[in-house]
Each structure stands twice: as C-alpha cells, then as structure tokens.
A and B are shown apart, each in its own frame.
Chain A
Amino acid sequence: MSLLGTLARMEAVRDGRAVPLATVRHRHLADRPMVLVPLAAAGEAGAPLAVMLGQDRESPVLLSLPQPLDRDRRFALLADLAAELLPWLEGYGDQVELLTKEVKDPATGEKTEQVRELCTDAPQLLVPGPAAVEFLGLLGRSTRFRRTAEDPDPGPYPAPARVPLLGRWLTQLRDRAQVPGSSLLLAMTDLLGRHWATGQSRLEDQHLGALLGWIAPPAGLTGAEAALRAETARDDRGQLLCPPAGPTTDPRFDSGLLAPAITRYDAARQLGDAVAAQAREADIAALLETVLRPTWERMWQGVDLLRALPAAAHLPERWEGDRWSYTSHRDRIAAGEPPQPVRDDAVTAARKLAQREREQTRLDIQEALDDPLAMAEHRLSGEAMAGVVVEVEPAYDTTGRTPKPRPLVTLRTDDRPHGDAGRELYRAGGPAAQKAELVSADPASGLVTVRLLNGMGRKKEPEPGSVPEPGEQVCFTLFELTARQSAPLPEPEDTPWTHGGPPAARAGTVPADPVEGA
C-alpha cells in the first residue's frame, strides 16, 4: 500500500468514517447496470443455491433451488438464469457503429478499406465482491462444455439448450474482468475500495456491509461501530442482521434455517405430496430472499455512492476497449467458434499477459492524469512534480540549420523528483504531449528548472499557449504518459521448440492444471 493510502486509512480511523481516495469515478458505470448477487451451496464447489438479479432495484428477480444437490433442478436454474441474462447480453450486439481502417495487402501492397463493426454499448454486470466474479467464472467453466439435446450426440444428461452459451458468456466476462481498468464485470467491494479508504484492512474491506458501514455510517455510529455491527450483529434467532454478500452463506443460517427447510422439502417430496413440496419450496425461496435482499439493497447503495462522483475523463476511452471485447466475443459466437479452451496455449497466455500489463500501465497513467489525488501518489514517491511557474527564459537549440525553441521553465514546488539532470520529463495536463528534461533541482529553495524539448511548433518562436506562463500551474511526470506497444508474438501454430512446439503437436502431453486457467 502506498504511503498516501496508509495515511488515508489512518485519517479514516481518526475521523470515524471513510476518506475519499479519488476526486472522480475511475470506472465506467452504466446507466442501467445488471446487478447480480449469487449464492453458492455449502459443501460443493461451484454449486449454485440462489441468484438475485435485475436492472431495476425495485423489482429484482429471484432464482432459487429448494434442493441444491438435485442436478435436474440445478440445470433448470441455470436455464432460468440464461433466459434472464442472454437476451440482455445479446441485446447490445444489435447497435453498431462502422469503423473503416485502411489495410495494406502484405502480398500486393495494395491499400484496401476494411470496415469493422463496433457495438455502440456493452453490457455491465455488477456483483458484490471478487469471490462472486470467481464464482461466475466457475459456473462458466462447468457449463460451457456441456452437451445439449440439440447436439448430434447429446449423451445421457443433456443440459438445457442455452446453458452452454451462458457459460461462454460468463467465461468471457470473468476473463475480461482480469484486465485492469475493464468494466464489463465489476465487483462492488473493489469499486468502493478504489474510491474510499476505510479504517480497516483491505481484507476486511471485502465485506460489503462493513465497507459501506465505513463509507456511509448510519447516524450516531462511527465507521468502526457500523462495520462491527455489519460483521457481527445478530437477531434474536441468532441470524446476522447483515448477511454475507455471498457467494458463501453464513454457516449458522445454513444449519439453523436452510438445512431444516430443505429437509422439510425433501420429506414432502418423498411423501409424493406435490402441494406440500411446492409450499416448502416457496418457504425456501422466501428464506433465501431474506438473506439476499440486504445485499441487493447495499449493491444499489454502492451504485448511488459511485454515481455521485463525476466520471473521469478517460472513461470513454477505456470503455471502448470493453466494447471491442464484447464485440469480438459476439463475433466469435456468431462465427460458430467452439467454447474457450480450458487452458490457454502458450501464445494466448503470453498475449493475455501482455495485454493486461499494457492495460495496467495505461490505467495507472490515466488515473494519474484524471485525478490530482492519484497524481499525488506519484508526486510523493518522486515520480512526478507539480508547481507554479515562476520564470520562463527563452532559449534555443542552435545546432541545426534553424534555431529551435528550447525554453527554460522554472517552477516552485515542494515535490522532490527522483532524477538527475538530463532526466526526461513529460508534461501532464498540457495543451499537447510535450517532453522536457530536468536541468536543475534545488530542494532547499524548492525551485526546479526544466527545458521544454518539443510540442512548440516548427517556427523559431513557440506556438502561443505551448509554453506555460509565469503563474501557471504545471505538472511534469518522470514516467511516460502513454503505454508502450507490446512486442509481436508468433501465431499459436508457430510456437517454437522452447515452448513445446505448436499446441496440436503437443496435445495430451500438457501437464494438468487442475484448478485455474478457465
């Protein structure tokens, strides 16, 4: 954690409530996000128990199972979930904009125009926490390879027709969620944790109720008290007032209320009493609703809190990346491609890693540019400096045929950039991209002089507005303000001998990866 982050947490402890970590909202927030709260059954990995979802906070849809071990009912629930989610997911595929790109034919060198579709918007799914993101990934992994009744060889237990497709979408969303700064599938605790610092640890911040207790404590309570109440307060039946946001449920709920209700349902079924079984099933649904509803309300409270923050300037640019991701997945499905493989091959893994590293760099840069609080972290660590211009001295590079402007700008700053003379600097928030170099820094007087190197036009005198004036606030960073392109990688069929050769030639010899990789 950064020093500023630690300071913010200490201030939160002192003030008894969370402290803002950002002046703007750093993630895209859709006008009508889909909120989804999944619950998993205890005792079996990836077994769904109930889902509450919807785009309208007043009327959530509840899908639940009376007996989570019943495979037929499980797939019926997944089919219901597919019926809820797929029309919404697919609906964004209809509105497209057409982008033309000039491509050069590598053989003939002829230029042709290539038209590509980009969906104008993409779906956004909000879940309570990172565990829910992983749970959706698990659901995707367990369903996307299932055979259905429509398959030529459906096998003994075909899944409902649209369930494998749902699995592919969930896999795609979870995979995209690994890309830093992406916003197709977001965890509410991550979102809130990015924008507020609480007086508790990051681990404790994963409890949605406790986190919101710090950010918006009820009247008369400090953040710590509200968080403690969210974590531990129980009613007279011994049930938590703030049930866990899932996917795992409170064990005392499981043993005290849920298990007996399931036993009653099983008994009614064994007796063949359809009416009683239906009534017991309704009891279980009502029971699950009581533990889902508080989380549902908190999810929307979180949405409200985030919506109150102004959107960061670079959000549309990053959301476009999400739109591309959505569009290409739509195209892969339309083209009839098979589901995503269980494990990435060597080239795909390297490509994904390169993309994520590039996006992480881009995210850090854009957050710093969008938000003075984010830039403050870099200033404190000597990676940037901000100050007021006190003097501008015209100077010229006369080595070429015509003199070029290379003015010296002196600013007053309390920041201590970690760099020697000659260190390259980048101007943040200027009219255009501009490089400079550090000429001298005197920590005692707080004066730093830099020489501007470009971005001033082609004439001898700089273009008006391209050089900051005395009295102007300026900011320079020691890090580049654009993420570097990733180096090209071979095609999977050209995988070299050092990496086992092409995937097809190696099929069956890959060491098993038992858990991850979906």
Chain B
Amino acid sequence: MPPLSPAETGDPGAEADRAVAAILDAALHGTERGTVVDSPPGAGKSTLVVRAARELVGAGERLMVVAQTNSQVDDLVDRLATADAALTVGRLHGSDAAPAPEALRHPAVSASTKPADLLECSVVVSTAAKWQWVKDVDPWRHAIVDEAYQMRSDALLAVARLFERALFVGDPGQLDPFSIVGTDQWAGLSYDPSSSAVMTLLAHNPRIVPHRLPVSWRLPASAAPLVSAAFYPYAPFRSGTGPGDRRLTLAAPGDGSAVDRVVDVAAESGWGLLELPARHTVRTDPEAVRAVAAVVRRLLDRRGTAVSERGSAPLTADRIAVGTAHRDQAAAVRTALAALGVPVHGGAADGGSADGGSADRADAVTVDTANRLQGREYDVTVVLHPLSGRPDATAFHLETGRLCVLASRHRHACIVVARAGIAELLDEHPSTEPVQLGVTVKFPDGWTANHAVLEHLSEHRVPG
C-alpha cells in the first residue's frame, strides 16, 4: 500500500482558493465548452457550485443548474438563496414531487412545474429527470451540472440541448450510475448510455482537463489519508484540519461492553470496527442489526460532544447516520432503533427516478443506503459493512463507490459493524468481471479498496 499521507505543504485554505479561482476562470472564460471538477468527499463542492452560480449571474448570465435528486435540488436552492438574498432562483419540479419547505422559505425563490414560469429567474434549478422534459425554451448560455458522476450519459444526451457551456462538478469516487438491465452491448462505446455523463463528455472532448479540489474540509485528519489512498490513489487530497483539531468526547463512561469499547476506540482514533463472530447470515442479519442499533443508542446515551474548528456542539441524533448497502437492511435498522427508543428517519418515498432522502429532521438519526447518503455529512456514522455475513462477494457489494460513500460521510468518527471473515471472503472472490475492450479499467477496484479499508480498520478492532 502507498503511504497513507499525501504530502502536506502550505496552507490548505490557500491551496483550495487557488483551485477554485482556476475553475471559475475556466468556466467563465475557458476555450472549452465544458469544465470538469473532480471533488473528493467534503471538499467544498456545494460551496463551489454556489460561488460559481453567483459569479456567472454577476457576469450577467442566465444559468440553469442540473442536480440528480430532488433533495439535492432543494438543498442547492436553499444554499443559493441563503448565500445571496437578491438572487432570483427558480425551482422547477415535477407535479408529483413538491419542493421541500427549506427551499421555498426564501422570498426570492419561486417554484413551478412549468419552465415558462421561471424564465425570468437568474438561476433555474431542477433534476436531470425533469430537465429532460423541458422543451420550447431558448437554450441557456451556462449550466452547472452537480453530482455529474452520478448522472448517466443518456440523461446528459437528453439535456445537453438546453445549454451552450457547462460546469460539471462531481465526486469520481462515489457510486457509478446503474441500470436495471444489462448494458454490455454498449460497453466500450464512448457514448455508452449507462456510463457516467463525465466519462462521455471527456471521451468526446479530449481537450478538457479535469480540475481538482485538493482539500477535504469534512473528513478529519484520521480519515482523509485512508480515504485518499484507498479510493483516490491518483488524485490524492488532504484534510483541511490537522490531527487533534477535531475531538469527540463522551460525558458518560463506558460500561466495558464491546459496544461501549468500540465507541471509545472510535472517539479516540476516528475509526472503530465492531467485529461479530463469523457466520453466514441473511441480508438483514438480526445480530448485526441489533449491534448497529446498540452502538447508536450508546452514542446518544453517553452524551458525546464534538469539538471542531466550528466550535463545540453536543452529539445529537441528527448528527449521526447509519449507512447500509440494501434498503431492507436500512429498514431493519430503523425498526431496531425504534425498539430502543431512538428517533429515526430516512427511507423517504422513492417514487420517480433516483431520489434522495428528505432533509435531516432535527431530532432523528438518519438511516439510509449508500446511494441516498451520497453528498451528506454527519459527525459520526455507523456502517453495516456491505460484505458482513455474506457467502459471496458480488460486484454490487464490491463496488468501490459504495464503500467510499459509507466511509467518507463523517466529520469525527466512523464505526463499522461487520462479521469476521471478510478478508477471507475477499480472497475467495477475486474480481471476475469480464474485461471489456475499450472500457477504462476502474482503479482501484472494489477488491483492493475493500482490503485497504479492512486493513486499516483491523487496527481499531473490538471483538463483539
């Protein structure tokens, strides 16, 4: 394994500012019609989008913004309107997906299902799925595509007629877009409709060189080196905070149980692995689900305090998230938490296309799948390992992005609950996906990344 720590030189703030300035210059004045920004987890992608939107509007441009889920759109609208009260923002939405109240609380935000109602707005924001249906409007000169690595190539094909130039922002390490049917037929084509929008864009516009945000403000110093080395080996990043800048303290002492010990280990080191005895289980492994719920319960009972560069705040339920691979696992964890008296939410209605969870409720723990936790941030995350208790390691469970999302949502600590034997399972299931000609091999593959994370976690292991 390469050394865990990328070179740390200079002030991270200044380094990030230089990157942002170069990106804005390229988006506004660059010779290429597209600008691509690769952003590691928590590197200020949303801040960049808001800033770019304000600069573009300030330069007299009308702007359309494409996000992937309704909650991302609501979140963006809220951020835009909060950052600049004078900015007129249009929230274009589907007839069956009402915008969230947070998005509509600003006077300068107007919402409609018809694009014609919003043409006066400086910025119009909607999901890719909704933009695809927009017709009979003059193209915008500028677009910002958020979470562009989660957007499918065919969605870009349908919306690209709406803009002349675009800034694509996204995290290449997260989950790739997927299809419910086989797509091998188009593998290797530059415009494979199931690949990500950025892949297609770069294949057809080879002169576009992706920009990179170099600093993760979310991940603590304990996590950035591991996540960078395991998931972004060729685009290393660093944490914005140094060792000791973030602390998690617990008011109530532990009772010596495995659950409390793993909480202590994680509070101390930023990582914890609660390892249950090896066993093949059903997906909703009752013991593992109970262990996850117990960890969350104890985190709350022991009255944690999160100290960071933002100050000191109590570790409340809304600052904790539970991540799983499957929806039924999330549902089982929610039931188990409810039985322990922990308020939960997540698993919102998923009508329509890819739709994220709703905005966080103030007093509840978020429990959701990796797909829906993308782009979200918490103080502590508790993760049910995707390979826990499995007899096999399928491509789904090995997907690099799934583990990356689950391991990079936290500002302070991440606690993983897993059955023993995952390393052996990985060794028994080397990647066997057929090699497709013309397809860029994704590196690191899920197998390597899983081993890297597991090796690191094993230093913070508590047998359960």
Contact = CB atoms under 8 A, between A and B. Distances in A.
A180 B182 CA distance: 10
Given A497-B205, A511-B189, A513-B189, A346 B352 contact: no
B192 interface: yes
A360 interface: yes
A497 B327 contact: no
B431 to A, nearest CB: 18
B36 to A, nearest CB: 11
A484 B133 CA distance: 13
Most interface-central of A381, A443, A480 (chain B CB within 10 A): A381
Contacts of A516: 184-188
A512 B204 CA distance: 14
A511 B438 contact: yes
Interface string B415-443: 00000000000000000000001100000
A512 B438 contact: yes
A289 interface: no
Contacts of B158: 350, 487-490
Interface residues of A, number: 45
Interface string A352-365: 01101100110000
Contacts of A381: 328
A488 B133 contact: yes
Contacts of B327: 418
Contacts of A490: 157-158, 161
Contacts of A515: 437
A349 B184 CA distance: 11
Contacts of B182: 178
Interface stretch (B20-28, B194-202, B215-223, B454-462): B194-202
Given A350-B193, A353-B179, A357-B181, A498 B133 contact: no
Contacts of B201: 498
A346 B437 contact: no
A343 interface: yes
A239 interface: no
A496 interface: yes
A507 interface: no
How many B residues touch the partner, as a band? 35 or more
Contacts of B33: 497
A45 interface: no
B154 A498 contact: no
A347 B187 CA distance: 15
B73 to A, nearest CB: 16
B60 interface: no
B437 A499 contact: no
Please classify the interface of chain A as helix (H, G, I), strand (E, B), loop, or mixed, using the class held by over half of its residues.
loop
A343 B157 contact: no
Contacts of A430: none
A182 B405 CA distance: 37
Contacts of A345: 191
Given A353-B179, A356-B181, A346 B438 contact: no
Q: Which one of B34, B132, B161, B282 has the greatest number of beta carbons of chain A within 10 Å?
A: B161
A424 B351 contact: yes
A420 interface: yes
A382 interface: yes
B331 interface: yes
B153 interface: yes
Interface of A: 3, 178, 180, 343-347, 349-350, 353-354, 356-357, 360-361, 381-382, 418-420, 423-424, 443, 480, 484, 487-490, 494-500, 510-517
20 contacts: A3-B282, A346-B157, A354-B154, A357-B180, A357-B181, A360-B181, A382-B328, A419-B347, A484-B352, A487-B129, A487-B133, A490-B161, A494-B161, A496-B160, A497-B160, A499-B156, A499-B157, A510-B190, A512-B438, A517-B189
Interface of B: 33-34, 129, 132-133, 135, 153-158, 160-161, 166, 179-194, 197, 200-201, 203-205, 282-283, 327-328, 331, 335, 345, 347-349, 351-352, 437-438
Given A484-B352, A510-B189, 14 more contacts: A178-B181, A349-B189, A350-B191, A353-B181, A353-B186, A357-B181, A418-B331, A420-B347, A424-B349, A488-B132, A498-B156, A498-B204, A499-B200, A511-B438
